Amino acid sequence: MLEVRGLQVRYGTILAVEHLDLHVDAGEIVVLIGANGAGKSSAVNAITGLVQQAKGDISFAGEDVCRLDAAERVRRGLALVIEGRGIFSEMTVRENIELGAFAKPELRGSSLQSAIDHIVTMFPRLGDRFHQIAGTLSGGEQQMLAIGRALMSSPRLLVLDEPSLGLAPRIVDEIAERLVQLARDSGVTVLIAEQNAALGLNISDRAYVLQRGRVVLQGLASELRSNTDLMRVYLEG
């Protein structure tokens, strides 16, 4: 589904991602974990087209997408839930969800309503607050809204950047459960950039551990949970 080779991301003279190789197979949940500043957000922003890579190749569903902008990558089935959620705070929950279908002009009328109903079924709290202004939602509800909005584009690969950031543990568990359900029942492939290693390793099939813009550990999530080098990587930053 996704293959990244030799990815490098720079912001002027600052090297955010030095060298990244990763792949995500269809139907997997893969997590990219690391301490703050490890390069996780820069990596997923380059994969989804929000920033331009300095070097490297990005292939999605067998197609080179390096020259495609973020909007076109969404149309091809690659959606991102950005860090900080990025909801439209002065619009209603319904309006935010509907905007997620902007890249899918075929979703109109009954098909649009069916897609909205699916999101509300996944996150019932959004249905309870359907006509509420999005900026008045709790942090957890806003994260649910951001995920639901991204799912309106019918992605084949859903990328999430720090989905647990600033949320209560109970809400984090609820969102994690929905992501696992999404991959299992809907066949959506998931890539997560996450600082919370315990969360990421508990819900993923495989993991890559980033340190200073490079992968220093990788493998099955079940094996990395007991890898003593993981703590060292976090402590070294």
Instruction: Report the distance separating Cα 87 and Cα 106, nearest Å.
Output: 23
Q: Is the pLDDT of residue 209 over 70?
A: yes
2-236: CATH superfamily = P-loop containing nucleotide triphosphate hydrolases (3.40.50.300)
Token pair 């997408």 in the structure block, residue: 65
Nearest 5 degrees, angle CA 38-CA 71-CA 94? 95
Residues 6+ apart with CB under 8 A from 98: 112, 116, 152
- pLDDT attached to residue 106: 77
- pLDDT attached to residue 84: 85
- The answer to whether the predicted template modeling score (pTM) of the entire model surpasses 0.75 is yes
For residue 100, give the nearest of 150, 143, 44, 136 by alpha carbon: 150
Q: What is the residue-averaged pLDDT of the chain?
A: 91
Average pLDDT over residues 141-145: 94
Q: Is the pLDDT of residue 225 over 90?
A: no
What is the four-CA torsion angle of 86, 89, 95, 99, rounded to 10 degrees? -20
End-to-end CA separation in angstroms for the chain: 30
pLDDT digits (tens, 9 = 90+) for 23-82: 999 999 999 999 888 999 999 999 999 999 999 999 999 999 999 999 999 999 999 999
